[in-house]
Structure 1
Amino acid sequence: MRIDQQPRTRWPELSGFRHRRPDLRLGLRTQRIDRAGAAVADRIAVQHTVRTGATEYTLLLNAPGWLGRRVVGEALRDAVAELRAIDLTYGPTRPESLVSRLRREEISPESYPPLADLVDRCVAMRAATDGWFDAWAVPGGFDPGGLLGGWAVERAAARLRANGVHDYAVLAGADLVVRGHAPHGGPWRVAVHHPTERDRAPLVLEMTEGAVGTSGVTGRQGHVVDPHTGQPADQLVAATVIGPDLAVADAYATALYAAGPTGLAWFRGGSEYRALFADRR
């Protein structure tokens, strides 16, 4: 089964791939950034890539010239520091992380407000997905990995906004968050490639705010567990979800990957999130 649902036209909009060159490409084995025209005058365009743990992030900033390169540099450093801090502080594979300490019952979620927020989001997504996203039903105990990467990107993006940068894209593998406009002055044009049909023309999203979350494109087998059986999920080859918040979109994509067609019911009834791809094996 293939699901290609068009998102709401207020954001993002699907446009003809042949008529506009994308700025970013998702769904390939490696993320790709295309140079799509010259930057608008009086803007500061910055691209920076950083690796934290097993995740590589690319930040694209399009700041107004009056902000100044020093301030833009500080905004970038602040966002990168947030990504690094989350990897060190919350990484489930790190024995002394807050997540690992929570598993060992050495601390409670209320001990650290960000940890409480992370746990609350996991609780909310477990309810929203009828238990198909369940951070407590994985080997080893509590593991928020299905939304931790999106949560990290959203917190880094908040640091950019706090420093006056409101036009940016932040990529993490096949996931991203965008806001505002690309350096060429228009909306960010994001080509989302089909996870398995490489010859198929990608869908192109024109976005000024929103997120794309994907589960299953890494090629790793068994990385998503069916929370009801404890066995590796095997119904879909990949699942891609779009919506306003990357942590939520990531969690939905993980849950959809585990649930298969059953999960499509979550995106009806006026939901702000949409399933873009959900292909059976």
Structure 2
Amino acid sequence: MHHAEHVMGTVVSIDLADELPAPALQSMIDDVCRWLHEVDRRFSTYRDDSEVSRLRRGEIDISACSDDMRHVLEACADLWRSTDGYFDAYAGGPLDPSGYVKGWSVEVASARLAEAGSVHHCINAGGDIRARGLSRKGEPWRVGIRHPWEADKVSWVLSITDCAVATSGSYERGDHVFNPRTGSPARGLRSVTVVGPDLALADAYATAALAMGEAGLSWLAKMVAEGYDSAAVTDDGRAFTTTGLPAAV
């Protein structure tokens, strides 16, 4: 069963490949959509009534926040420390945890599907992807990583199962990732893709590496030991991958 949901400012594609009755699959999709809309209502920086907007304006403090908000803030603080400050929810000024929230919300959505009985599914939220099991063809899920200059082409095709893929780049949304050391838009890397076991971390690591610029290449190489492989393209068109990147033949 396939479903596309407009939420969080993007289209979220949900593919379930389990041999289960249609009503059961539809119930799983409905649950995922409710969750994603709940996340959007709570964390959208574009909604004046969202929890994060109220926190930014000082109308509530952390003690009055939801468990989910406290989790996200703690995770962002941990990532700030583990990336030497390059993942910074305050890099653009006011609090904006979006670089963690989308990946985290899809990771949670995939866990909810698994708990409900779906062992073969793929969720794609604007390039943030969490896959489990196999596609309906009985093969690993295939994911194309967009070429950073030519939108109708791909740089890599990945073959994945039971893992996450996150891509951060300047080619689609412009200067939305900042180097927190300089306060200026990130320069040096055009596109960063990270593959690993947890989408929340893969998404944050891709953002952090992009913010680092070319120094992010050596940092990404170190993350292989943590279970995260990567592919990156520099501003001048050079391409780099770690040895374990699950590129399709």
TM-score by length of 1: 0.76
2:208 match: 255
2:179 match: 226
Question: What is the DSSP-based 3-state SS (H/G/I as helix, E as strand, rest coil) of the residue aligned with 2:179?
Answer: coil
Question: What is the DSSP-based 3-state SS (H/G/I as helix, E as strand, rest coil) of the residue aligned with 1:63?
Answer: coil
Asked if the contact 2:170–2:176 (Cα under 8 Å) also holds between the matched residues in 1, the reply is: no
1:84 match: 37
2:246 match: none
Q: Which has the higher helix share?
A: 2
1:52 match: 7
In structure 1, what residue type is equivalent to 2:233? A
1:171 positional shift: 0.6
Question: What is the DSSP-based 3-state SS (H/G/I as helix, E as strand, rest coil) of the residue aligned with 1:64?
Answer: coil
1:218 positional shift: 4.8
Deviations 1:73-116 (A, max 9, x none): 11110001111111111112212211112223312167311111
Asked if the contact 1:188–1:207 (Cα under 8 Å) also holds between the matched residues in 2, the reply is: yes
Change (3 A) 1:182 1:255: same
Q: Which runs of 4+ in 1 moved over 4 A?
A: 197-202
Q: Distance in 1 between matches of 2:154 and 2:48?
A: 43
Whether 2:249 is the aligned partner of 1:273: answer no
1:4 match: none
Asked if the contact 1:239–1:257 (Cα under 8 Å) also holds between the matched residues in 2, the reply is: yes
In structure 1, what residue type is equivalent to 2:130? V
Change (3 A) 1:233 1:201: closer
Q: Distance in 2 between matches of 1:186 and 1:53?
A: 30
2:23 match: 70
Asked if the contact 1:82–1:156 (Cα under 8 Å) also holds between the matched residues in 2, the reply is: yes
Number of matched pairs: 233
1:5 match: none
Asked if the contact 1:189–1:207 (Cα under 8 Å) also holds between the matched residues in 2, the reply is: yes
Change (3 A) 1:104 1:193: closer
In structure 2, what residue type is equivalent to 1:116? R
Segment drifting more, 243-252 vs 188-197: 188-197
Question: What is the DSSP-based 3-state SS (H/G/I as helix, E as strand, rest coil) of the residue aligned with 1:238?
Answer: strand
Asked if the contact 2:129–2:165 (Cα under 8 Å) also holds between the matched residues in 1, the reply is: yes
1:217 positional shift: 5.4
Change (3 A) 1:116 1:124: same
Q: Distance in 2 between matches of 1:175 and 1:137?
A: 21
Q: Distance in 2 between matches of 1:145 and 1:240?
A: 17
Segment drifting more, 229-238 vs 78-87: 229-238
TM-score by length of 2: 0.86
In structure 2, what residue type is equivalent to 1:60? D
Identity %: 36
Question: What is the DSSP-based 3-state SS (H/G/I as helix, E as strand, rest coil) of the residue aligned with 1:133?
Answer: coil
Whether 2:88 is the aligned partner of 1:134: answer yes
2:239 match: none
Asked if the contact 1:260–1:278 (Cα under 8 Å) also holds between the matched residues in 2, the reply is: no
1:123 match: 77
Change (3 A) 1:223 1:79: same
Q: Distance in 2 between matches of 1:168 and 1:187?
A: 11
Asked if the contact 2:17–2:120 (Cα under 8 Å) also holds between the matched residues in 1, the reply is: yes
Q: Distance in 1 between matches of 2:113 and 2:151?
A: 34
2:245 match: none
Change (3 A) 1:52 1:218: farther
Q: Distance in 2 between matches of 1:164 and 1:90?
A: 28
Asked if the contact 1:169–1:177 (Cα under 8 Å) also holds between the matched residues in 2, the reply is: yes
In structure 2, what residue type is equivalent to 1:276? A
Q: Work out which structure has the larger RCO, using CA pairs closer than 8 Å and 6 or more positions apart in sequence.
A: 1
1:108 to 62, 71, 83: 62
Asked if the contact 1:110–1:116 (Cα under 8 Å) also holds between the matched residues in 2, the reply is: no
CA RMSD after TM alignment: 2.1
Q: Distance in 2 between matches of 1:154 and 1:114?
A: 14
Deviations 1:16-74 (A, max 9, x none): xxxxxxxxxxxxxxxxxxxxxxxxxxxxxx11001014111000001123xx2211111
1:149 match: 102
Deviations 1:186-209 (A, max 9, x none): 221223343236797643322111
In structure 2, what residue type is equivalent to 1:97? S
Question: What is the DSSP-based 3-state SS (H/G/I as helix, E as strand, rest coil) of the residue aligned with 1:122?
Answer: helix
